């Protein structure tokens, strides 16, 4: 090929134009870029048993699975789980819901921001999949997509990161973290099969002593925390992340945004103890004194 030193700046392009077109015949990989593949069963040394050894499971490709020790209880089963991995299967899990996905669902119309967005709504809109039997305790709000989030929602999740809370409140929305015990969670995510069973709506249990500090903390917008402290936390968060906190009371959807569930309530507008019948389209409420006291406590 022509060396660059023989040409002046203007003539390079003319030369390149006049060169034959690039085809497979003109191309070659850099030396050392490719390596010849190992072909088994060829040649004097590669042939015969083709690198498989002599008879047995090795040559016949019938070796047992990794970790099998010939029937002896293998190492990975005999050593108990301890320390970091102890009780890992019993820990509460919270499948994530990113702000990006939330925005996506709202944009597509699968979630209605004019009504409070609950775990029921999320599952109805097929936004998340919750499996209470796999120790899922609800949904956690992650902050991926916090910069593009621009919807005003009344959101209720189980866990929320600080940045996600900031992103929601910056757009004039409201976020609450609340706890659902496993039975209530099953009722919440699949209301129709529950209502078909004819059971009275159970009352939501309070979180255990381990989770109670989380849900009484205003910084996490816990549902058991003091509303006054929540206001302070909103202001301080706005200052921390550097946005002006919009005034929700002046909003047109203030009543919807102010809607919050009672700590013992599972569904909006339905109290514990009521029986909802879908065949008759009627709600039955108990009148017995003791029952009312039990469900009202």
Residues that bind another protein (CB under 8 A): 109-112, 114, 124-126, 192, 195-200, 205-206, 209, 212-213, 216, 224, 273, 275, 277-280, 282, 284, 286, 288, 290-291, 294
Nearer of residues 214 and 243 to another protein, judged by Cβ: 214
Coil vs helix vs strand at 253: coil
Q: Based on CB atoms, which residue is closest to another protein, 146 or 230?
A: 230
Q: Are strands 275-277 and 282-284 parallel, antiparallel or unpaired?
A: antiparallel
The least distance separating another protein from the CB of residue 116, rounded to whole angstroms, comes to 14
Among 177, 91, 96, smallest CA distance to 134 is for 91
> At its nearest, how many Å lie between another protein and the CB of residue 287?
9
Q: Which is nearer to another protein, 120 or 140 (CB)?
A: 120
Q: Which is nearer to another protein, 99 or 111 (CB)?
A: 111
Least CB distance from residue 112 to another protein, whole Å? 6
Closest distance of CB 123 from another protein, Å: 10
**Given the complex with another protein, which of 205 and 245 has the nearer CB atom?**
205
254 torsion bin: left (phi>0), alpha (psi -120 to 50), beta (else): alpha
Backbone angles phi, psi at 16, to 5 degrees: -60, -35
287 token code pair: 């009148």
**Smallest separation (angstroms) from another protein to the CB of 183:** 12
CA atoms within 13 A on the CB side of 291: 12
d(CA 267, CA 286): 17
∠ at Cα 90 (89, 94), nearest 5°? 90
Based on its alpha-carbon atoms, the radius of gyration of the chain, rounded to whole angstroms, reads: 32
The CA distance from 179 to 70, in Å, is: 48
By C-beta, is 98 or 121 nearer to another protein? Answer: 121
Cβ 209 to another protein shortest distance, Å: 5
Distance CA 156, CA 163 (A): 16
């Amino acid at each position: 090929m022509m060396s660059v030193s023989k040409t002046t700046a203007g003539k390079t392009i003319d030369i390149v134009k006049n060169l034959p077109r690039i085809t497979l015949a003109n191309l070659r990989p850099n030396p050392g870029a490719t390596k010849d593949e190992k072909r088994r069963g060829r040649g004097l040394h590669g042939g015969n048993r083709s690198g498989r050894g002599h008879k047995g499971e090795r040559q016949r490709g019938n070796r047992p699975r990794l970790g099998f020790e010939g029937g002896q209880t293998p190492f990975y089963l005999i050593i108990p789980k301890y320390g970091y991995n102890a009780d890992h299967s019993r820990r509460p899990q919270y499948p994530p819901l990113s702000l990006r996905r939330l925005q996506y669902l709202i944009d597509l119309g699968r979630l209605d921001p004019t009504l409070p967005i609950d775990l029921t709504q999320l599952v109805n809109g097929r936004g998340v999949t919750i499996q209470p039997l796999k120790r899922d305790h609800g949904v956690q709000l992650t902050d991926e997509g916090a910069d593009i989030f621009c919807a005003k929602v009344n959101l209720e999740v189980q866990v929320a990161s600080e940045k996600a809370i900031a992103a929601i409140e910056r757009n004039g929305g409201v976020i609450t973290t609340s706890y659902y015990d496993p039975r209530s969670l099953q009722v919440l995510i699949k209301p129709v099969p529950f209502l078909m069973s004819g059971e009275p709506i159970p009352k939501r249990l309070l979180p255990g002593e381990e989770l109670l500090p989380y849900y009484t903390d205003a910084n996490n917008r816990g549902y058991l925390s003091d509303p006054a402290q929540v206001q302070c936390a909103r202001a301080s968060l706005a200052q921390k992340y550097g946005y002006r906190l919009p005034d929700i009371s002046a909003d047109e959807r203030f009543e919807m945004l102010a809607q919050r569930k009672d700590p013992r309530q599972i569904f909006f507008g339905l109290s514990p103890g009521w029986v909802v019948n879908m065949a008759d389209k009627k709600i039955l409420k108990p009148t017995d004194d003791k029952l009312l006291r039990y469900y009202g406590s």
